[in-house]
Structure formats: structure tokens, C-alpha cells
Amino acid sequence: MSIKSIDPRITREKLPEENDITPLKEIHHWQTYEVFHQAKTGDHHIHVGSLHAPNSEMALILAKEQYARRYSCINLWVVKTSDICRTTNDEEEIFGTTPDKIYREAGGYKVMDRINKFKQK
């Protein structure tokens, strides 16, 4: 039995009612890429999501279609997900003492008290 639809084009396809296709295997829908998008000159590129593509050329075409259909975009980067190195969330403590490093910041240097005291002397 094939599918009868109110859409004649679907009926003409004579689609079988039961599943007759072999299951897809991992990689049949290709490799994953991460997409970075720059909205206007002067902006950083920011990560906007990922997609599946067989190579970087196709990844750029699909990225334009998927992430730049609307609103301003002047430039796209795509990077193969497997080429990205990253820290893991388990090693979050390596950043733990960063906020305490006050000597790296302008706000860590307060000289006015000393200057005022010096002037009063």
C-alpha cells in the first residue's frame, strides 16, 4: 500500500507506508563545524552555534544560510569542531585566583591618600 495524500504530488510519489530504509550511521550527516559571526566592522566575531558539513567550503555556505539569513552580518568563520582546543569545566579552578590579582589592575593603585598626607606635612 502506498500513501494517499490530499496533496497529489505526494500521492504520485507512491511512498511506501512502512519504513524501508537502512538506518543512518554516525557521520552519514557529516562532520560538525562551529560558526563565528561578525555583525559589523569593529565587532569581535562571536560564536553563534554549530552545523554539519562535509568540508569547510560547504560549511561556509550552510553557515550563511543557517546563521546569516536575517540582520547584519559582514563576515563568517567556520572551524571544524575537532580542531578546537578548550579547557574543561572541571579545571575551572585554574582561573580561581585571577580576580584576586589586584596588582594587574589600574584600580589596584591608590596613591591619592599618600599624596594628600605628603602635602599636609
Partner 1 sequence: MYGGGYIFEDPKNTESATEDSVKLRNFEERIAAGEKIEPSDWMPAEYRKQLIRMIEQHAHSEIIGALPEGTWITRAPGFRRKLALMAKVQDEVGHAQLLYSAAETLGKPRENMINDLITGKSKYSNVFNYPAVTWADTAVIAWLIDAGAIINQVANSKGSYGPYCRALERICVEESFHLKYGHDNVVFLATGTPKQRQMVQEALNRWWPPIMHFFGPSDRISVHTETLMRWKVKMASNDDMRQKFLDMYVPKIWELKLTIPDPKLSKNKETGLWDYTEPDWDEFKRVINGDGPCNKERLAVRRRAEEKGEWVRKALMKPDERYTVPLS
Residues that bind partner 1 (CB under 8 A): 3, 5-7, 9-10, 13, 15-17, 19-21, 23-32, 34, 47-52, 54-55, 58, 65-66, 69-70, 80-82, 84, 86, 88-90
Give 45 or 49: the residue with its C-beta nearer to partner 1: 49
Give 16 or 72: the residue with its C-beta nearer to partner 1: 16
Helix, strand, coil share of the chain (percent; to 5): 35, 20, 45
Calpha distance 121→116 (Å, rounded): 9
Closest separation in Å from C-beta 45 to partner 1: 15
Closest separation in Å from C-beta 46 to partner 1: 11
Q: Which residues contact 10 (CB under 8 A, 6 or more apart)?
A: 3
Calpha distance 84→54 (Å, rounded): 17
Give 92 or 100: the residue with its C-beta nearer to partner 1: 92
Cell of 83: 580542531
